[in-house]
Structure 1
Amino acid sequence: MKDHKEFIKESFKLIERKLSKGNIHSWETRDYQALSESIQKETGTLLSVSTLKRLSGKVKYGSRPNTATLNALAQYVGFKDWRAFVQDSEASNPPIQILTKAKSRNTKILLILLLVLTASTLALFVIEKNKLSYKSDDFVFKGKSVTTGLPNSVVFNFDASVADDDAKIEIQQDWDKRKRTLVNKNDSVSTSIYYWPGYFKSKLVIDDTIVKEHDILIPTAGWLGMIEQEEQPIYLDSMDIYRDKKLAISKETLLVHNVDPSVEKVVVGFYLVKDFGEIYTDNFEMNASVRNEYIDGLSGACQRVTVLVLYDGGAIGIPLSKSGCISELTLMTFEDYVDGKKSDLSGFGVDFSKYVALKCISKDQKFNIFIDDKPVYHFKVPETPKKIYGICIYFEGSGSIQHVSFENDSSTLYNSNFNLKKKRISN
């Protein structure tokens, strides 16, 4: 019987095919982050980036993974559990039997079948080789947003004329391969609509292989407030979110839009996405003063808040909640997810009867998080700096922001001014 590592290797081959991102050993951290999110969404099990790297062979490990981890991998590639996956693998690849003279007739039949299979395999190899022979330089793929604000459309200009006549050609909006649009080989323009702001890596995909990527910035016109919905958010007018020298979304605003946070879990978000200038992940300071003001019903049980700092290729995610709910928090670092069920995130439990001061300092390859001037967590910063493109702050129920700022060693690159009540365009 094969070693468990061989079965794990087979499962990652299936994952490679499912996600169409090429050989897993060429993946970057953001690819593992996307895989982690996708597995959690489909199976309900959170596998950290570091766990996935160990399992895939990117990082060496010695111990056998636990059953829950293996089950999640199996379920993600379409099996009931790990045992079902192993049984299917063994049935598909049975041990080779030694043939005797008494079975010579069967031997001839098997040899014929083997020749047919060999020919088929060679044909498939030639097809696969041709499919993988494309070079990135053979294609043109560019895109540009048409406006500032949301929704926003992107016009993609592409040239895929070198693709085979029967090739499947698609444009993918971001890391989510479900957001793909079929295009014609002889066309040169395609458009996509984006309902959320952010920094995205769109992709030109030929026969499920990514051949070209292009960065797309979907900026906001100042601060944007929205009520989060699965397919399309509800955008709020700036006059609805500027209140008494702060940004705020109230229960009354939600009710106007037929959303009741007392009977359903409601998430509202504030977005500021733009090019701040010369500010990078290896050297910056971010300050935010936030407060979740909703305490009733389903949305008010834990008073959760998540602050995302967006950068080229990913996001840092800092969670806050009432102290009794820290078990359900997840911290997003550059390379991993820190699960509150397996780690002590008690420092992120706060008292929202007043504004909570959040400070993040990235310096000397170390990222430090402070809450109300108290150090609560730190983690390593990757050596390669990435440009910062924005901040998103989410509240479960409702909430408000009193202050936000970004700075580097030499200057303050953004300092909020919410004293713009009833203004339609804001800082």
Structure 2
Amino acid sequence: MENGQDKASTLDLLDHCCQLVADTYGKPDSSEWTNSDFVRLSSILYKKTHVQISPNTLKRIFGKIKTDARYYPQKATRDALAQYVGFADWDKFIDTPSRQPVRLVHPDTPPVLLPPADIPVPQLPVRRSRLKSFLLAALALMVIGIAGWRGLLFWQGKETAVTLFCKNPEGGNPHSAVFVLRGFGHVSRLTNDYSIEFGDNDKVQLNGRDSVYSHYYEVPGRYFAVLKKAGTAIDTVPVFLHTSGWTATANMMYDTTRVYPIETPGLFTKGYHSISAPEIARAGVDTNRTFFVNFINAHLTGIDGDNFELLVDVRTSLPRPGVRCSQVRLTIYGDSSNHMVDIMKPGCAHWSKLQFSELHKDGRSEGPDFLGADLTAGGIVGVKVVNRHATLLINGREVYKNTYHKALRQLYGLDIMFAGIGSIRSVQLKDLKTGKRFAGNF
């Protein structure tokens, strides 16, 4: 629909939507906004629409950052702006003649009050009138005092919720993310009852002195930093480290202090489907110990995370020092959660795991034998999701299906991890609704 509109009309609609956003935000004059306004609006938009729009993108939309031509955002961004001001999406916004959210109608003129008729008032003695005024004033002060005391008790008993905010949720690799705690009143409230789990197996206990914490991410992907109080999650924010094409990163078991990026020019082109032990050793990895290699391609794909099909042709590692189970783990990054499949040799199913959004299975407690498969000679792992109905296939055989409820929305890329030396012979990912294909397919 919007392709048929001329450029000027399209930009007029965008300007009108921006003004509605500014009105809804509470500061109608967006030209007076500071950087903190754009940071705060970015956070509000994500919590209300689940679409991440960076502060810099908002500045371009509102004209704070000058460009040669008027910046016009992508459809998902326009949908989020329209949703924030009360419309289902951008199409509904431009189809509405008035383009104004529904408001309550108030009378134009206040009701007219007629003056009371003159009624003679008997004169009270002055002393009696003063006594009555004094008693009324004393009673009023007593009521105000009681109300104030009860309000103070209520305020002390009802603490505001502490929230977590990331000032720079997107970046390359590596990335230092800065997290800010909000809504705590006094910083001493942030005791060690609170902790932040950063989503990469690292966490920090709050110390009651600081409200800003930074964390160093060194492997590409999408992470979910979780604020917890007494072990219970109370807020979550995403952090995204994007890549330019496929990358390879190694790490060693029990060595949580470092990772080893591997230089792989031309990876997955011209028959280059694996990384050899000498290449991994040159990156600093002791290949005589247990090690893992992650192949990651992370970017905003434009593919629906709840309606897609993925086929990955892999060959897992042959037995070698530290590798017995020939593990391959496939992680599909989503906007609000992930899908993950962890496949081992049949005798190692104890260590296997499965996740489809909020659904989890763990081999140590549930024994999912269907995740046991020997792929050392090669095999195809398939994941198909249709309207949140998920199906897992191994070598064309359906081994698991279930329905999850928490939508992933958009996909942010793939992570294929091997224990030891594995190879990927092909990746085919596509959107089942639009037919759009993953830029990292080969």
Q: 1:375 aligned to 2:381?
A: no
User: Does structure 1 residue 286 correspond to structure 2 residue 310?
Assistant: yes
Q: Does 1:265 align with 2:290?
A: yes
Shift of 1:242: 4.7
Counterpart position of 2:52: none
Question: Does the Cα contact within 8 Å between 2:188 and 2:208 map onto a contact in 1?
Answer: no
* C-alpha distance after superposition, 1:179-213 (max 9, x if no partner): 3566866x8x6543212233233366799997754
Alpha-carbon separation, structure 2, partners of 1:277 and 1:363: 16
Change in 2 beyond 3 A, CA 1:234/1:323 = same
Q: Could you tell me which residue of structure 2 aligns to residue 410 of structure 1?
A: 434
Offset, 1:396: 0.9
Counterpart Cα distance in 1 of 2:178 and 2:340: 30
Q: Is the 8 A contact 2:168 2:178 kept in 1?
A: yes
Q: Cα–Cα, structure 1 residues 260 and 140, in superposed 2: closer, same or farther, change >3 Å?
A: closer
Q: Does 1:168 align with 2:190?
A: yes
Paired with 1:211 and 1:326, the residues of 2 have a C-alpha distance of 33
Q: CA deviation at 1:391?
A: 1.7
CA distance in 2, matches of 1:239, 1:388: 25
Cα–Cα, structure 1 residues 311 and 338, in superposed 2: closer, same or farther, change >3 Å? Answer: same
Q: How many residues align?
A: 283
Secondary structure in 1 matching 2:280: helix
Work out the CA distance in 1 between the residues paired with 2:399 and 2:318.
Answer: 24
The verdict on how the C-alpha distance between 1:412 and 1:287 changes in structure 2, with shifts beyond 3 A counting, is farther
CA shift in 2, pair 1:210/1:308, >3 Å: closer
- Residue number in structure 2 paired with 1:96: none
1:297 aligns with 2:317: no
**CA 1:181 to 1:223, structure 2 compared with 1: closer, same or farther past 3 Å?**
farther
The correspondence of residues 274-353 of structure 1 with structure 2, limited to 5 A, is 274-281=299-306, 283-299=307-323, 301-334=324-357, 335-339=359-363, 342-343=366-367, 345-346=369-370, 348-353=372-377
**Alpha-carbon distance between aligned partners in 1 of 2:233 and 2:345, rounded to the nearest angstrom:** 43
2:293 is aligned with 1:251: no
Other-structure match for 1:133: 159
Long gaps (5+) in structure 1 = 1-125, 419-427
Kept in 1, the 8 Å contact 2:246–2:267? The answer is: no
Question: 1:394 corresponds to which residue?
Answer: 417
Closer, same or farther: CA 252–379 of 1 in aligned 2, 3 Å: same
How far, CA to CA, are the matches of 2:154 and 2:218 in structure 1? 36
State the 1:257 CA deviation: 3.6
Between the aligned partners of 2:229 and 2:321, the Cα distance in structure 1 is 48
Deviations 1:35-72 (A, max 9, x none): xxxxxxxxxxxxxxxxxxxxxxxxxxxxxxxxxxxxxx
Per-residue CA deviation, residues 121-161 of structure 1 (Å, 9 max, x unaligned), is xxxxx99984851146xx7834214642x21122446666x
Structure 2 unaligned segments of length 5 or more: list them: 1-151
Structure 1 distance, partners of 2:380, 2:328, is 13
From 384, 391, 398, give the equivalent of 1:361. 384
Let me know the Cα RMSD of the aligned residues.
3.7
* Offset of residue 347 of structure 1: 6.0
The 8 Å contact of residues 145 and 153 in structure 1, kept in 2 or not, is answered as no
Tell me the CA shift for residue 273 of structure 1.
Answer: 1.9
How big is each residue's C-alpha offset from its partner over 1:258-290, in whole Å with a ceiling of 9 and x where there is no partner? 5344x4211111112221114123x11112111
| 1:205-238 deviation digits (Å, cap 9, x = unpaired) | 7999977543322222322211124122111113
Identity %: 17
Partner of 1:233: 259
Distance of 2:429 and 2:364 partners within structure 1? 27
Cα 1:184–1:209 change in 2 (3 A) is farther
341-350 vs 224-233, which deviates more? 341-350
Partner SS for 2:274? strand
Task: Give the direction of change, closer, same or farther, for the CA distance of 1:297–1:275 in structure 2 (3 Å limit).
Answer: same
TM-score in terms of structure 1 length: 0.56
Please tell me whether the aligned partners of residues 171 and 204 of structure 1 are also in contact (alpha carbons under 8 angstroms). Answer: yes
Larger Rg computed on CA atoms = 2
2-structure distance, mates of 1:380, 1:257: 41
Match in the other structure for 1:79: none
